[in-house]
Amino acid sequence: MEHSRSASQVTAWSSQTSGTATFSTRPIEWLGGNHDGYPLCTFEDYPNLRYSASQLQLFERAPTLQYAALLQSQLVFGFLEAVTGQKLQEDGLLEHTPNGHTIIAVGKIRNAIDHWLYRSLHTETTSNEEAIQVFISACTATRAARALLLAITISTSSVFHEAGVPSNDALCMIYTFATIGEAICAALELFDVPVTNPCHNLDWSFVLVRYDGYVAEMVSDGWCPFTVSMLSKTVTLLGYASTCRSFIIERVKPDVHERCSEHACVINTIEITTYKNRHVVDSCTCAYSKPPLDDVLGIFRRDQIPVVHMTSTGSHGDEVIDMICSSASADIPTPNVAISHVWSDGLGSTTEDGLPSCQIRRLAKLVQDILPHAAIWIDSLCVPKDEMMRRRAIGLMGQTYRRADIVLVIDSGIRSCTTRAPLKQKQLWVYTSAWMQRLWTLQEAVLADTLLFELSGGFVAVEGLLPTSPFEMLDPALGSLSALMYRLLLRKDAEVDLESGLPKIRLGHVPNCLEWRTTSRAEDETLGISSLVHVDAYELVNLPPQRRMMTLLLRVGKVPSMVAFMTSPKLDILGFRWAPRSFMNLGRVEGGESDAKVTPEGLHAVYHVITFNKITLRHNEHWSLHNDEDSRHIVYRLKYVPRYWESESLDEEHYTCNAILCRGQEVQQLDRGIAVLIDDNTQRVSYGGEAREKSGKMLEAEKSNMYCTVVDATFY
């Protein structure tokens, strides 16, 4: 395996990354650490070269400004030196301001990382063995730096605060340390070496839990708290977003998000009884236009997809627009553009009610610009209010977007971004839009053959929102946003099912794609994702809402075994008490491989378990497992987590178990388990409740002596 990029790729680096891989943190005050004059060393040895063990112990007991300066110097100079393997002089990263202050120039940090990476990847000067050693050393230093920053962050008291560093300065320092870590992790992804990357997906956003200055500042500037939570995936991404103007939807008051929370944006939630359409301009009072209802219903009765043509847009702005209907799924289908939008932008309606004529004219103009003579599909005109016909429309929704020649995304937030904006800004506009936060728009995007976004000044394809060079990913913010954009191309990367000829999207990918998406109708969730996993939405829409998730899982047939560990309310149906009620807002599902079989009797899968004699416990009771093997006394302390288990049919005060299901047998996989009751005769597993370790301190290496066995069992 080659260790590096080609010489031409590396040579072209400077022009590709210029102005892209930047730090968004503010300059930080240099505390005067004692850096120059000492030899190059490992990250851990950095303080030991400068102070004695007794001095360091005194610092830890009573932090002083001298100690704060040491930590700052270690997490900047020491970190960079340990990664790059080269000495850095103070004047190489420091600058003097006109008012007499000395600051750490974050731009120079970026340059130091870039120069190191250039040297490391240059094929003419670095051998394969050297590249591997550089990679391993950098990974070791990165993990050590993260461990130190984590210790500082979770400490009961702030070292920098106790040392007298002003709060704002301490905040900027912590963010800068994490940003350096994220930048180095992004750089390590470019190494093509035959070694596992221990820094892959290494999370630095833990600093935002304790030091939430960005969050408070952005919310006060008008950002939605829910959007800020979305952006908190990386410190760099949140830092970049904080430098951009707020994405307040046009024509709403600045304080519109004051009722929003980190869990939901209220302005995206529609109250249908008070809903009103918007005109293109507020002063417009034009009449509504709508397609012939009987024609739309007739096409649905043939199990086909209706689309509309504008035969006349009227000579005056207030004239009603004439429309005719045709089928997008007939033997000779009508070329059409499907509109993907959110109702919070004011375009929601039904066939019976139609839309303001000014909006239809605008849609017609957009469609003609991208596909002349094409018809339009939009739910506001093509989905009837009649319940039976609405169900037919939902059953055909997957085909609607899959068959469309183009899917056009219309969103007021995205439209406020210009086509001339930098890639990262366009990505940010899309990611923070209302369109990206809604359930139904996921399948509308993923199923599209051609997906276009309307921006100010023109259109951009989803492929135009992706980096063209791996070196652009050196910017952790752009890397995070690009990963989210790639989710919209999930179908294009999936293998094709031989029987149906359609791309196979594993169910394990769906929760990851639904992260941060919401819906005003919880019962619609399975309908909105069924087409992604080739389940008949028409079957689901005709079922009682409480049976839709169970039926979806049965039709899918295979799911990741780790789905049982999803920390969410479960179904209260015998045989499906392992199954989540919802996939939305659960974050990433580990082990996306579909290795468990869904049956009417339960989930059949293989798990690691810790077994013991049957015991009945109260829900609020903390308990421990002891392992005395080899005379080493190991304790696995657990507590019940009631908020993750909601069932009306089970005993509300007690649960009985004889085993703990684990995600695996490695130490890091023992942080969360499921208390279960295993029938020794049938290997059937009763889902008693979830359990977690009481303290993160129990996750030490010696815990590996708490042995797990493997059980092939069925959850019910």
What residue segments make up the domains of the chain, in order of their start?
Answer: 7-208, 288-493, 602-715
Hey, is 585 helix, strand or coil?
coil
**Residue 548 φ/ψ, nearest 5 degrees:** -70, -45
Amino acid at 322: D
With a CB cutoff of 8 Å and minimum separation 6, the contacts of 488 are: 445, 446, 451, 462
Please choose, from the candidates 460, 258, 436, 214, the residue with its C-alpha nearest in 3D space to the C-alpha of residue 344: 436
> Sheet holding 28-29: strands in order across?
28-29, 102-104, 94-96
Phi and psi torsions of 36, nearest 5°:
-60, 150
* HEC per residue, 338-349: EEECCHHHCCCC
Percent of the chain at pLDDT > 90 equals 50
What is the mean predicted confidence (pLDDT) over 398-424?
A: 95
Q: What is the pLDDT of residue 22?
A: 58
Q: Is 236 helix (H, G, I), strand (E, B) or coil?
A: helix
Phi, psi (deg, nearest 5) at residue 418? -85, 150
Cβ atoms < 10 Å from Cβ of 525: 24
At 255 the pLDDT is: 74
Q: Are 574 and 716 in contact (CB under 8 A)?
A: yes
Q: Give the angle 428-434-435 at the CA atoms, nearest 5°.
A: 90
The residue count for the chain = 716
Cα 474 from Cα 477, distance rounded (Å) = 9
Per residue in 670-689, pLDDT tens?
A: 667 888 888 766 656 665 44
Q: What is the value of pTM for the model shown?
A: 0.85
Q: Using pLDDT thresholds of 50, 70 and 90, give the confidence band for residue 707.
A: very low
Q: Name residue 638's beta-bridge partners.
A: 623, 693
Strand partners, 456: 418
What pLDDT does residue 696 have? Answer: 24
Closest CA to 459 of 467, 450, 449, 468: 450
Amino acid at 267: I
Residue-level pLDDT at 635: 57
Please provide the distance, in angstroms rounded to a whole number, between the alpha carbons at the two ends of the chain: 46
More confidently predicted of 713 and 236: 236
Would you state the pLDDT for residue 712? 56
Q: What confidence tens digit (pLDDT) does each residue in 438-497 have?
A: 999 999 999 999 999 999 999 999 999 999 888 888 888 999 999 889 888 877 666 666
Query: What is the pLDDT confidence band of residue 251, given thresholds at 50, 70 and 90?
Result: very low
DSSP 62-127: S--HHHHHHHHHIIIIIHHHHHH-S---HHHHEEE-TTS-EEE-HHHHHHHHHHHHHHHH-TTT--
Question: Is it the case that residue 20 has pLDDT exceeding 80?
Answer: no
Instruction: Give the largest CA-CA distance in the chain.
Output: 91
Distances (CA, A) of 394 to 339, 389, 529, 530: 15, 9, 11, 10
Q: Where are the strands (E) in 471-619, listed by range? A: 558-559, 596-599, 602-618
| Rounded Cα gap, residues 128 and 13, in angstroms | 20
Query: DSSP code of 315?
Result: S
Output phi, psi for 4, to 5 deg: -145, 170
Taken in order 493, 499, 501, 505, the sign of the CA dihedral is negative
Place of tokens 């020649």: 405
Taking residues 585-596, what's their average pLDDT? 71
Q: Tokens 């993990």 sit at which residue?
A: 143
| Separation between Cα atoms, residue 354 and residue 336, nearest integer Å | 19
pLDDT of residue 640: 57
Q: In terms of pLDDT, which residue wins out, 323 or 640?
A: 323
pLDDT tier for residue 414 given thresholds of 50, 70 and 90: very high
82-112 pLDDT, tens digit each: 999 999 999 999 999 999 899 999 889 999 9
CA distance 307 to 296: 8
- Run of H or E including 307: strand 306-312
CA atoms within 13 A on the CB side of 236: 28
Summary mean pLDDT of the chain: 84
Under the banding of pLDDT at 50, 70 and 90, the label for residue 276 is very high
Cβ–Cβ < 8 Å for 142, 75: no
